[in-house]
């Protein structure tokens, strides 16, 4: 029998990880919901932002909060750049071409990062207080990351429901053409959406670099999980993605303790395959 303390600790870690994964999944879903395109290279944008924070904080010694803000700003900028340079020209192309364009970006980013910074793992070392709750060591970095992720998602929710631009973004995702009849230039809405999605990637980057080391193929580790979460939650379904993030992270964390980290991933993936078979529309999809 596994020590219930280990299980609880794993469950908590799963929860904390789930928060950041949710940020990634929501960003990807936002862009897909509005623009109808999946950014395969999304987590690689996170990787670039992680490097940015690394260099700012670990190498040049700037404070972490500044690094975080810079990461968010960089993410937003990258988001806009990707949309304007790569997505815009192919908005009316066949889906396979669109997927390949962001796929090509994945190759490009991973190789360019290898060329610039080699495959060495880099991490940001923060001196943080030690925390123990009921004899369980809890990573303060993880806790902070979780809290900030939740705050960001709350912010996103308020933005989408309480602001004019946010409501317009939701409207475009429901009926792009009808919104253009209201006087909204779809291209502008796309740019704003890409900026927001990119900013979320930037924030995720800042939150991840304090927990994990970055290397050019970071996207290969976190990308597939993010994609699976999106599919599991139902592509385009924000609430579904949120729920699926925690389901996945808990499966990974708990299986990781019972068997091994890799088995954890394997089991998560098997759950994924089963779910596709049972409910391809996503966990919260209504049976049609």
Binders of another protein among residues 18 to 37 (CB under 8 A) are 32, 36-37
Q: Does 228 bind another protein (CB under 8 A)?
A: yes
x/- mask, another protein, residues 144-183, rule CB under 8 A, reads --------------------x--xx-xx--xx-xxxxxxx
Cβ of 287: how many Cβ atoms within 10 Å? 5
Stretch that binds another protein, among 3-11, 104-112, 134-142, 148-156 (CB under 8 A): 104-112
Instruction: Answer yes or no: are the C-beta atoms of 136 and 8 closer than 8 Å.
Output: yes
272 binds another protein (CB under 8 A): yes
CB atoms within 10 A of CB 10: 21
Q: Determine if 239 is a binding residue for another protein (CB under 8 A).
A: no
- Identify any residues that bridge with 58 across adjacent strands, giving them in sequence order: none
277 interacts with another protein by CB under 8 A: yes
Could you say which residues in the range 60-99 bind another protein, by CB under 8 A?
A: 86, 89-90, 93-99
The residue within the footprint of another protein, chosen from 112, 121, 126, 258 (CB under 8 A), is 112
Among 3, 61, 115, 135, binds another protein (CB under 8 A): 115
Q: Which stretch binds another protein (CB under 8 A): 6-14, 50-58, 60-68, 107-115?
A: 107-115
Contacts of 43 (CB under 8 A, 6+ apart): 24, 201, 218, 219, 222, 223, 226
User: CA 35 to CA 50: how far, in whole Å?
Assistant: 25
185 binds another protein (CB under 8 A): yes
Helix (H, G, I), strand (E, B) or coil at 122: strand
Asked whether the beta carbons of 41 and 81 are under 8 A apart, the reply is no
């Amino acid at each position: 029998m596994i020590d219930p303390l280990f299980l609880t600790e794993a469950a908590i870690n799963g929860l904390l990880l789930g928060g950041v994964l949710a940020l990634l999944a929501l960003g990807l879903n936002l862009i897909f919901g509005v623009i109808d395109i999946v950014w395969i290279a999304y987590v690689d944008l996170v990787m670039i932002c992680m490097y940015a924070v690394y260099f700012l904080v670990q190498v040049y010694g700037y404070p972490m909060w500044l690094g975080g803000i810079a990461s968010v700003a960089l993410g937003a900028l990258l988001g806009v750049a990707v949309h304007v340079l790569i997505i815009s020209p192919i908005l009316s192309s066949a889906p396979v071409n669109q997927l390949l364009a962001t796929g090509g970006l994945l190759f490009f980013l991973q190789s360019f990062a290898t060329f610039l910074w080699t495959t060495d793992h880099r991490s940001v070392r923060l001196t943080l207080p030690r925390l123990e709750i009921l004899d369980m060591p809890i990573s303060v970095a993880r806790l902070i990351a979780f809290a900030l992720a939740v705050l960001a998602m709350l912010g996103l929710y308020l933005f989408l429901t309480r602001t004019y631009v946010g409501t317009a973004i939701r409207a475009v995702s429901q009926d792009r053409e009808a919104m253009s009849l209201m006087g909204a230039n779809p291209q502008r809405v796309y740019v704003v959406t890409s900026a927001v999605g990119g900013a979320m990637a930037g924030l995720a980057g800042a939150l991840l670099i304090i927990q994990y080391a970055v290397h050019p193929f970071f996207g290969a580790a976190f990308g597939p999980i993010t994609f699976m979460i999106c599919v599991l939650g139902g592509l385009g379904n924000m609430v579904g993605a949120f729920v699926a993030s925690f389901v996945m992270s808990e499966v990974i964390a708990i299986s990781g303790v019972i068997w091994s980290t890799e088995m954890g991933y394997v089991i998560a993936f098997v759950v994924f395959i089963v779910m596709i078979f049972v409910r391809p529309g996503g966990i919260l999809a209504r049976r049609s």
